[in-house]
Structure formats: structure tokens, C-alpha cells
Structure 1
């Protein structure tokens, strides 16, 4: 059985600051500092909550660790790791195309941490606007699939990365007539998207370091020091975190904020007989209840919907999704519900091409404070249902412009900034 995840990047919403804000004024914040061999007088900011009692403090620490565990994949972490380690021979290695970051020779304008679609798009857009950009992260391929609104990808010049288009999208709420969205939907080729974003990085002059990031610290001069494996330090004026599920140790979330909820899904791409769905329509959500149970049950307390991508009249991707739940509906339950649904629809599975599991932590934790030299751009995690993934590249390409404005505002490089606008 092969597992992988559909989606883009998770809602990573948190940067860390030694300064309390209005939302956290109920808690006194304590800042820890440490020394560095590179700059013996810089700070590494780590915010901790000082509660009114020892028991309260312990409970807060436990809650934070539990939420970090869930965000990273929880009990299904093995499936996330399987996804990351899939072989994709059609995709180029970043190190074969991008020049290496020159360690010890000056300060980069911007370091982008994370080499998924968000990281590559952000690095390319920022470098295109004139910044000296370094990209840092493991040299791994894109293993996720993406569903997008066709017009949005076309606006980004990425329509060539779409491998299949449905002329319209449909939603079923109940037994009444289906709701047509009136918008074309596309399935993105992960290979074509990787190569296109990498090409943009090459053309704009992005440099690259294949490494995990251990920490981001601040020097007395105000620069960020990105600490990587093998004691390598990359200095920069501005650092961004776009590493999705791997962002946990670099970011912190508001203690006592909204609890994490989990989206899970199980899907299969199969060859079938008796497919009742129109191949020209993509089924965004089918909430019709096939069980018709009159009494409360586990299934009725955990509603799910069907997501359908008909690649042809006989080859179809079906996915059973629990949109949000406290602990996450287990994959075996989702698989059971999907197979029961297909049976009730009269769909006979002849061959299975691929099995899919999706885990997505949905949370709305708030920023304690965004320091003026670190920006968080990890909007979506690598474990998100594809109805969210349509926003990833659009968001990141636009955030590149925001970062440029932020960069030149902070460092007052007005002449260079005006040259970019002219």
C-alpha cells in the first residue's frame, strides 16, 4: 500500500518576540538568550509563558507540546514521512540547478526557509524584484498533488502545469439539484510545477543550501543568523519561514489560544465500472448521506463528504473527507465509509492505482508579535485537502511583493526601491 498526501502548506501563523502584546498581557513573558561562536553578543528569542501557579505552567507546557505533536502529524506521522520520502525521478535536484549560497561572503537580503511550492515561489518572486535571495532546506521533490481553480493558475502564468481541467465544479448538499459553481477546476502536475518554479528561481538568481535549519537568531547589528546543520551560519537582513510542517521548532503559537482541530481524509485513484459522475465535472463536495440512518450513530456524529476527480469515464479519484474534528477521524474508518459509499452508488473497483491519506491540522493561533526581521510565510502545510491548495502559489507570489515593501521600509533603501518601481 502506498500512502501520500494531497495538498500544500499548513496554516503556520506564529513568529516569536521578547515583547508582550495586548493579547498576551495576561501572561508575563520571559526571554532566554544564548551565545554564538559567530557573534558572541546576539540573542536567540524563545518566548515562554509564566503562569500564576506551577500547576498552570505545567499544564500550558503540556498543551503546547500536544498541539505541536498534532501539527506535525500526530499518531499518523509515519504516513507524513512516507510522503516526504517518495521517489520522483522526473524532478530535478535543486543543487544541480541553483548556485550554492556563499558562506562567509557578505549578508543575504533574504533567506527563505523551505523548498516546497511556497518556498520556491517566494524565493523566485523576491529575487526577481532585485533582492539577493538564499533558499535553505532539504533537497526533496514535490510529492503532493494539487487541485486549483484554473483561472487563478492562468493568472500566475502556470496554466502549463495543469494536467487535467474540468469545465465546471459541482457541490451536492442534499438530494436536491446539484449546485454548479461556474468555475473550471484543474489538477496540477507536481512534476511540471516543480520544474517551472525551479526554472523561475534559476532565472532570478536564487542561491541554495541543502540543509535543515536549527534556529534563527538575531545579532547585535540587527541581522538574522540562520543556523544550519554542520555548524553553518547564514547571515541575512530578513528571514522567512515557509517550511510547513517542519516549521514547528522555528515558530511558537499563543499559549491558551484556540485548540487544534484536525482534517483527515482517505482517497483512492481507481479504474471503475458504473461511474455515475459526469467526467466533465469536478465534484468539490458531495455531502449526500448514503447511509439513510434514522437513529444517531458514530457516522452521523462524524459527517464526511466525497471529493471526486473523474480523470475519464472509468479512471476516477475518490476521497472521503472529515472536514474538521477534535482528534481526527481515523483512516480505517474513512476507508470503510468510502468503500461503503462506492458500493451503495453501484461503483465497482477494478484496479487501484494509488491510495492516499491526508492529515491537516487546522488552527487559528495568534501571533504574539512579528519581529521586524522575521516574516512567517508558511501558509499551508504539506497535509491539506486540495480544496485549500488552490491558494498556495497565488498567496506566496503576492506575499513576495509585500516582503519587498517591508524590506525596503525597514532598511530605508529608498533609491533602490524606487528603481524597482520605475
Structure 2
């Protein structure tokens, strides 16, 4: 018997879209190579007002009101000005991974989603249906297949636009000889580089992302913006150790190591293909911030609703159902914004550390609603253009020059 929708994957994107489709009354099955109830390895952050607007603030494990960044003066400088933080005045939260996962699993349970385990290897058309073939020869038929298998999707096709730039990060959750950040503080970006030599400062810049988890536990992560090839984990680990040592901090106990690498400039998929994508498979990572969970939560209901409407036609083939989902996921406005974000990312990839410091200092001097909407991808196209023009006007000449030059190709 064919199901309405077969979702491939077992991570946040797969559970999110499966729950949303089931909430529309569709018959949904989820096929994952591992048990989708297995713990997730990575952490997921989100701004407080974003999660509050979704009514999911209770899923946060930690929430900080003291949110800051350090951009310094552009060079190693021990002066008070260089070490003065930029205050964001906006809450930041860290999801309780287990609670977030359970939220979606419970929604899937209420909607009758069937959890299947198996390794899909391909998909073919069988009349108006789609048939997924497993590594063990198993076959599953559905009116629509949704590929939510991540940034290197199993089925979703994308055009080849050359090398893909990756944002990489190495992090540690643990206990330290001294607090690496102030009590109850979240540090979004610390670009201070007084621990590096002049030659090292000419290398691809990295910054610290860190937070006080309470109870003497902290999370510190050295991060690079998008580059092709990405900064290796070994380099990031060395940078993090140098940064901590320079501030007289030693790692006493490692509870968890985090290795993150995700593409930032993936082209949009082919929106005419008969398989629908969601999450990283559908290039939903924000090209400017690297975040995706907020977008999953905001966009899944509209995609599910569009698919449900299309499925009201009993004979509609997979291709038409997928096309309805793609239109809802990547509307003309969202495609235009994606192009603008990609354009901006190309500029940043060519910036020196000094230019990046100055750029972000200017960016966070924008009015709060502008930079918040920019990072959440909730501004309309005219509002996004207005924010970009205002940022250009606020930036020093060195940044303006970089913005006017042709974007660097990864």
C-alpha cells in the first residue's frame, strides 16, 4: 500500500516536516538509516524573540539576556576601546536537544507517522507514484517523497555552481580553570586576535562563540565564516587552545566535543524535480548566519499545507505534488532574498580580518529590528534592501570598498 508521503531522514528537518505533514491529516512514513529517536550530537541556538514568536520558548535549555560580541579596533590592541563589548540587547537561547527532538517525535506520534528504519539508495517513478528502493531490496511507495537527508542529499538535484564554501567550527563543553566568559553571558562573536602573531592574523580569520551553561560548565567554540576549502578542525582546535591559554584559561574536563561543518552557499535545487526537499537538502541554511532551525519551524506548516491541497486531487502524480511543495518552500520572494544573501556572503568571503571586524561592528549598529530580521530572514525584499543600503552608509570606507569590489569566488 502506498502512503501519502515518505520522508527520508532522521534529523531535525525530517522530523519537522513529517510532523507538519501529519498535522495536515496526511498519511506519513519516515525512513531513516538510524533510529530517529537516537540522541542528536550537535547544539542548536536561536534568538529568544524568534523562539517566543513560535510559542516554543519552553524548549530552551538555556537563555541569556547578557548577549555581546567583541569586534575590537581591527588590530591587536590592549586598549579599553578594543576590549569594549558590543551589547546586543536581545535574548539568545540554546535548545534542549532532547526536548526539541521529543517535541517533533510526539507530534509525529499524534499524527500517526510510521517510523521505518532502512537505508534508501534510490527512487523511481511507478505510474503516478514514487518508489524508494532500499539497500536490502526493500521498496516503499508513496505519492510524494520528501528528501530531508541533509546537505548532501540522497535524491535532490542541484545545479553545479563550483566549489561550495563551508562554515566550520570546533567546540568544547566542559569545565575550565577560570571562566572563559563572564557569568551568565553569551558571546556571539569574539574577533579579538591579540593571541595571534602578525603572520597568523593574515590567515583566514576565526572567532569565538561561547556561553556560560551554569554550574561551572561552559561551551566554547572557535568558528570560521564560510570558506572554500573550509578551515580544518585541527586549525580551529589550535586557535581555540591558543585563545584560552592567552587569557589564562585551561580546559579541565571535556564533556563533549563538537565538530560542525555545513555549506553556506549552496545553490537552490531544481524546483521542477519530482522529489521535494526540506532542510539542508533544500538549501535552507541561512547564507548569512548559518542558522536553520528557526526556518524549519516557520516554513514547514506552509509547505505541508500546500502539499495537502495538491493531494486533494487523487490522481495528481508525484511531480505535481512536489512542484506545489517547492513553490511554497521557495517562493519568488524567498528566492530573491536567497540571491541577495548569497551576494553578500561572496563579499564577506573576500574580507580581511580588519574588514570583518569593521563590517560586523557596523552591522550590529543597525536598528535592532533590521539586524534581527536580516539574520532571521523575516524581512521583505524592500526591507532587506533598505537594511543593506543602510549598512553600506554606516560602514567605514575600507568596508565600503570591499563591498563594491566583485565578490570573491569560493
Which TM-score band applies after superposition, normalised by the shorter structure? 0.5 to 0.7
Aligned to 1:184: 91
Deviation at 1:303, TM superposition (A): 0.5
CA distance in 2, matches of 1:109, 1:393: 26
Q: Secondary structure at the match of 2:225?
A: strand
Aligned to 1:226: 132
Q: Secondary structure at the match of 2:22?
A: helix
Deviation at 1:150, TM superposition (A): 2.6
Check if 1:197 corresponds to 2:104. yes
Aligned to 2:188: 284
Q: Secondary structure at the match of 1:379?
A: helix
CA distance in 2, matches of 1:109, 1:308: 43
Residues 236 and 380 (structure 1 numbering): CA distance in 2 closer, same or farther, change over 3 Å?
Answer: closer
Aligned to 2:358: none
Post-superposition CA distance 1:313-352 (Å, at most 9, x none): 7421111111122222222221111111111122233333
Q: Secondary structure at the match of 1:130?
A: coil
Post-superposition CA distance 1:39-76 (Å, at most 9, x none): xxxxxxxxxxxxxxxxxxxxxxxxxxxxxxxxxxxxxx
Q: Could you say what the CA RMSD is over the residues aligned between the two structures, in angstroms?
A: 2.6
Residues 195 and 399 (structure 1 numbering): CA distance in 2 closer, same or farther, change over 3 Å?
Answer: closer
Of 327, 344, 358, the residue aligned with 2:229 is 327
Structure number with the bigger relative contact order (C-alpha 8 A, sep ≥ 6) is: 1
Residue pair 1:379, 1:392 contacting (<8 A) in 2 also:
no
Of 334, 337, 341, the residue aligned with 2:243 is 341
Aligned to 1:403: 304
Residue pair 1:380, 1:389 contacting (<8 A) in 2 also:
no
More displaced stretch, 174-183 vs 162-171: 174-183
Deviation at 1:307, TM superposition (A): 0.5
Aligned residue-pair number = 299
Aligned to 1:268: 172
Structure 1: gaps spanning 5 or more residues: 1-104, 414-422
Residues 136 and 146 (structure 1 numbering): CA distance in 2 closer, same or farther, change over 3 Å?
Answer: same
Post-superposition CA distance 1:125-150 (Å, at most 9, x none): 11111111111112142222211223
Residue pair 1:265, 1:321 contacting (<8 A) in 2 also:
yes
Residue pair 1:211, 1:228 contacting (<8 A) in 2 also:
yes
Q: Map residues 17-416 of structure 1 onto 2, 5 A cutoff.
A: 105=1, 107-138=2-33, 139-140=35-36, 141=38, 142-174=40-72, 175=82, 177-220=84-127, 222-245=128-151, 247=153, 249-255=154-160, 257-275=161-179, 277-291=181-195, 293=197, 295=198, 297-312=199-214, 314-371=216-273, 373-379=274-280, 391-392=292-293, 394-396=295-297, 398-409=299-310, 412=313
Residue pair 1:275, 1:313 contacting (<8 A) in 2 also:
no
Q: Secondary structure at the match of 1:324?
A: coil
Residue pair 2:178, 2:250 contacting (<8 A) in 1 also:
yes
Deviation at 1:252, TM superposition (A): 2.9
Residue pair 2:146, 2:278 contacting (<8 A) in 1 also:
yes
Post-superposition CA distance 1:174-207 (Å, at most 9, x none): 1163222222111222222222211111011111
Which TM-score applies when normalising by structure 1? 0.64
Residue pair 2:17, 2:304 contacting (<8 A) in 1 also:
no
CA distance in 2, matches of 1:235, 1:349: 51
CA distance in 2, matches of 1:172, 1:283: 8
Structure 2: gaps spanning 5 or more residues: 73-81, 315-410
Residue pair 1:114, 1:136 contacting (<8 A) in 2 also:
yes
Residues 368 and 121 (structure 1 numbering): CA distance in 2 closer, same or farther, change over 3 Å?
Answer: closer
Pick the structure with more helix per residue. 2
Residues 292 and 213 (structure 1 numbering): CA distance in 2 closer, same or farther, change over 3 Å?
Answer: closer
Which TM-score applies when normalising by structure 2? 0.66
Residues 194 and 251 (structure 1 numbering): CA distance in 2 closer, same or farther, change over 3 Å?
Answer: same
